[in-house]
Structure 1
Amino acid sequence: MRSRMLSWLRDWRFVAVEAAASVVSVVLFCVGLTLLPLMLITGGVLLMPEVVKALRSWSDSARLRIGRRRGEVITGTPAALSPGSSIDERLRFAFSRSAGRDALWLTVHALPVLFVSLTVVSIPLGVVSSLAVPFYWYLVPADDPLRVPYPVTSWALAATMPLIAAAYALVSWWLIPATARLLSGLSARLLTAPEVSRLAARVDALTLSRAAALDAHGAELRRIERDLHDGAQNRLVNVVMMLGIAERALETGAGDVSAPLQRAQEAAAEALAGLRRTVHDIYPPILDELGLEGALASLAGRSIVPCTLEATDIGRVPAAVESASYFVVAEALTNISKHSRATRAVVRVTREGDRLRIAVEDDGVGGAIERPGGGFAGIRRRLEAFEGAMSLDSPVGGPTSLRTELPCGS
């Protein structure tokens, strides 16, 4: 009996939480209805995607809540609005299939669920109210008697109130669990993306990640070509010129050849150093020697801003993921040293299942933003090639927190 009572209390609490949550849904529903007519003017076009973002966050929280209730993972259709998106991308996001499904759930959650949950959750209060009637019914004016559920005008009618309380208790004993099952089942059905939608979203994500990988590959090739052209190639040209000068000096016996040979040797050494830097930027050898944790420790140790590395039991991950993670931290620490005016930085690396999470934080002045072609945009592009994600939180005044996530295999 005790376990059944505890189960009933959990069901009542769930219905009460859904009643409170449905009030928030009503607010979002009203905001959406207000903005729809404004879509013909600029304000609606600009605001609707932001409302859909809020709706997405709200529906994701409902997925977590309903999932905990049902003991399962409820997955929606992946959808996100990247910073700096164009008007077309914002409109596609606002009127996507996933947004429509979330809007359908919001409509149901805002209207029927609010009425049903408030009605059902208040039934147990009728038990308390009915039991209290015999103690104060006679204090109420005779021309305006209590009506619970019929007018109580005598002691005889007041004596029937415990029976009414028992009726309320029986109804609530059956109705509360049934309503909890109904609300959780209905919400789960509306919030779970159909298999076709999940597959379509997966195909879209793979297409985007492939495009990002090609873009990142192209950008990397252009960078390598630029480094070779501006660095090693120019120095090798100098080597050839110095050797040519030395050769003509030897043929004519016109002068000392040690000076051009010395300059040729120095240019060759510089060219070799440049080639080593280029090879290092493609895949740092330190990753092979020390693994990701050791390589990041080396980065933290070389950082201009004092940096602490917190990483344990990362293990080995695919070489491409190690390389991407290394350059993410390297770029983040470079940004900190150049722009943040920070006095300390922290790099936290954790591995949870098949996800590698990296957080880089500093105590600088903040105000960092993601600009097209900037360092953070490069980090995002590199991560998207692996279907990774990045978030940047940098309020003016600091602190700045960069969080990234990469799939790394199980």
Structure 2
Amino acid sequence: MRTPADDPGAAGPRRNRRTVAVRRARAVLDALDHLIQGMGTALLSFAALLSVLLIVLLCAVGVGLVLAPALPRVVRAIAERERTRLSRWGPEMITLGPAPGRGRAVLGDRALRRELGWLAVHGTLGLLVGAVGATLVVNAAQNVTYPLWWRLLPPDDAAPTLVFWSVTEDRDALAVAALGVLMAAAFTVVGPELARLQAWPGRRLLAPPPDADLSLRVAHLSATRAAALDAHATELRRIERSLHDGAQSRLVGVTLLLGATRRALARDPADAEALLDRAQDAAEQALAELRAVVRGILPPVLADRGLAGALDGLAADCGVPCRADVDIPGRCAVSVEATAYFVMAEALTNVSRHSRARHAVLTVRRRGDRLLLRVQDDGVGGADERAGSGLAGIRSRIEAHDGRLTLTSPPGGPTILRMELPCGS
């Protein structure tokens, strides 16, 4: 008799429900983490806001003029801390460097004025939003567990916070637990929205001013140019090492064997024939290694089958079952296709070696003048670019083409690697 557990059609919906539940739980935990960390910067902002008001009042009697020069540095330090926090949970927030020292430079710094506005909003609204979220979670945890310990409380203190009825028996305590479950359910709905509301002033007010775009762009181009030069030098070293340690040593062996064969012809033709066989084997191995080096420079499969066909081949050869979803109308520049091929090959190698995944998906789309690449696996997550898993090399290749790379890999997975490459219109 066939059971639902044996029915593959039933396993799919169960797996989907489990995936949705895990993602929702992860979103709720992330929201709680965001709110708590946001409360930390909100408390700093509130303290700095009080300091600003106090120094303004003290300036009326002259004492505040001594303390005023330190204010821009304090405000900038707290704002940079918030930029760092927001960069961990979304698009990167660019840091602005040290604040101006004093005088007209302070009054004319538009970024500092925006930071003061953020300080006022985050130190009040951000603190309130974080307190609401944290209070909801703490009270939910307290109320859900209340039936386990309510009898240990003094009789005059038998009802927890936010409970408007007296608790005198187990039925009342179970009602408190039911209220806790409702609070927990409410946080699963409003928690992520509270985290976004708390982060909104920072995203809005701490972004670099428009006049900083050009200098930031110049700095970015300088960095990507340096990355391109480093990547080029690394590639040349790899090719040189492959030729020196592989094909060149094989060809030296062929030369020695041919010399030995010439000498053996005069003495023992039978030995000469064996030496010729060895020389032929060495020459074939050298040819195979030369072909491997050439494929490493520019894979012939790109010219033969195009990027879509080449990526289909990579997905088929991946050590983890991988589905390729490639939709690329037309062709891109040869350098862009080669970069896309190599970064996808490295990404799938990482999935095979490190992810412990059961399945992976490779997705490629072209949107206007951008080539969008995405690799997702259902492995253990926790990928770290600093751990030497090839991600730094992928970033170097991408940034050398003025592209972007984003890695999302929380512990427990999934790991999602998103890449963008400019490919012309």
The alpha-carbon deviation at position 52 of structure 1 amounts to: 2.2
- Using the size of structure 2 for normalisation, the TM-score is 0.58
Q: Distance in 1 between matches of 2:381 and 2:86?
A: 28
The alpha-carbon deviation at position 349 of structure 1 amounts to: 0.8
On the 8 A contact 1:105/1:191 being kept in 2, the answer is no
- What letter is aligned with 1:326? Y
Question: For residue 44 of structure 2, what is the aligned residue in structure 1?
Answer: 31
| Percentage of pairs with the same residue | 46
On the 8 A contact 1:292/1:322 being kept in 2, the answer is yes
Rg larger for: 1
Question: For residue 52 of structure 1, what is the aligned residue in structure 2?
Answer: 83
The alpha-carbon deviation at position 395 of structure 1 amounts to: 2.0
Q: Distance in 2 between matches of 1:59 and 1:390?
A: 13
Q: Distance in 1 between matches of 2:238 and 2:253?
A: 22
Q: Distance in 2 between matches of 1:103 and 1:380?
A: 32
The alpha-carbon deviation at position 367 of structure 1 amounts to: 2.1
Question: For residue 366 of structure 2, what is the aligned residue in structure 1?
Answer: 351
**What value does the CA root-mean-square deviation take over the aligned residues?**
3.8
On the 8 A contact 2:86/2:93 being kept in 1, the answer is no
The CA deviation string for residues 357-396 of structure 1, in whole angstroms up to 9 with x for no partner, is 1110111122221126540011011111111121222222
- What letter is aligned with 1:242? L
**SS of alignment partner, residue 371 of structure 1:** helix
Residues 1:193 and 2:198 aligned together? no
Pair 235,108 (structure 1): closer, same or farther in 2 beyond 3 Å: same
The alpha-carbon deviation at position 354 of structure 1 amounts to: 1.5
Q: Distance in 1 between matches of 2:335 and 2:280?
A: 36
The CA deviation string for residues 273-294 of structure 1, in whole angstroms up to 9 with x for no partner, is 1111111111111111111111
Pair 102,32 (structure 1): closer, same or farther in 2 beyond 3 Å: farther
Q: How does 1:76-115 map to 2 (within 5 A)?
A: 80=94, 95=98, 102-109=111-118, 111=120
Question: For residue 188 of structure 2, what is the aligned residue in structure 1?
Answer: none
**SS of alignment partner, residue 257 of structure 1:** helix
Name which of 310, 320, 325 aligns with 1:295: 310
On the 8 A contact 2:361/2:376 being kept in 1, the answer is yes
**SS of alignment partner, residue 256 of structure 1:** helix
Q: How does 1:211-250 map to 2 (within 5 A)?
A: 211-250=226-265
Question: For residue 396 of structure 2, what is the aligned residue in structure 1?
Answer: 381
The alpha-carbon deviation at position 225 of structure 1 amounts to: 0.8
Question: For residue 258 of structure 1, what is the aligned residue in structure 2?
Answer: 273
The alpha-carbon deviation at position 26 of structure 1 amounts to: 10
Question: For residue 333 of structure 1, what is the aligned residue in structure 2?
Answer: 348
On the 8 A contact 1:25/1:110 being kept in 2, the answer is no
Q: Distance in 2 between matches of 1:114 and 1:269?
A: 72
On the 8 A contact 1:101/1:191 being kept in 2, the answer is no
Q: How does 1:131-280 map to 2 (within 5 A)?
A: 193-195=209-211, 197-253=212-268, 255-280=270-295
Q: Distance in 2 between matches of 1:246 and 1:327?
A: 42
On the 8 A contact 1:104/1:190 being kept in 2, the answer is no
Pair 298,191 (structure 1): closer, same or farther in 2 beyond 3 Å: closer
On the 8 A contact 1:48/1:94 being kept in 2, the answer is no
Pair 199,231 (structure 1): closer, same or farther in 2 beyond 3 Å: same
Q: Which moved more, 1:349-358 or 1:218-227?
A: 349-358
The CA deviation string for residues 209-240 of structure 1, in whole angstroms up to 9 with x for no partner, is 11000000000001111111111111111111
Structure 2 unaligned regions, length at least 5: 1-36, 52-69, 101-108, 125-202
Q: Distance in 1 between matches of 2:98 and 2:286?
A: 55
Pair 266,26 (structure 1): closer, same or farther in 2 beyond 3 Å: closer
- What letter is aligned with 2:44? V
On the 8 A contact 2:253/2:282 being kept in 1, the answer is yes
Structure 1 unaligned regions, length at least 5: 1-23, 61-77, 81-91, 116-186
Name which of 379, 385, 388 aligns with 1:364: 379
The alpha-carbon deviation at position 346 of structure 1 amounts to: 0.3
The CA deviation string for residues 243-264 of structure 1, in whole angstroms up to 9 with x for no partner, is 1111110133464311111111
Residues 1:304 and 2:319 aligned together? yes
**SS of alignment partner, residue 360 of structure 1:** strand
**SS of alignment partner, residue 381 of structure 2:** coil
Pair 335,108 (structure 1): closer, same or farther in 2 beyond 3 Å: same
Q: Distance in 2 between matches of 1:235 and 1:47?
A: 62
The alpha-carbon deviation at position 397 of structure 1 amounts to: 2.0
On the 8 A contact 1:249/1:256 being kept in 2, the answer is yes
Q: Distance in 2 between matches of 1:342 and 1:400?
A: 10
- What letter is aligned with 1:291? G
Q: Distance in 1 between matches of 2:334 and 2:47?
A: 51
Pair 25,188 (structure 1): closer, same or farther in 2 beyond 3 Å: same
On the 8 A contact 1:358/1:403 being kept in 2, the answer is yes
Pair 289,254 (structure 1): closer, same or farther in 2 beyond 3 Å: closer
Q: Distance in 1 between matches of 2:87 and 2:368?
A: 25
On the 8 A contact 1:387/1:406 being kept in 2, the answer is yes
On the 8 A contact 2:250/2:282 being kept in 1, the answer is yes
Pair 45,332 (structure 1): closer, same or farther in 2 beyond 3 Å: farther
The CA deviation string for residues 301-335 of structure 1, in whole angstroms up to 9 with x for no partner, is 11121110112134211111111110111001111
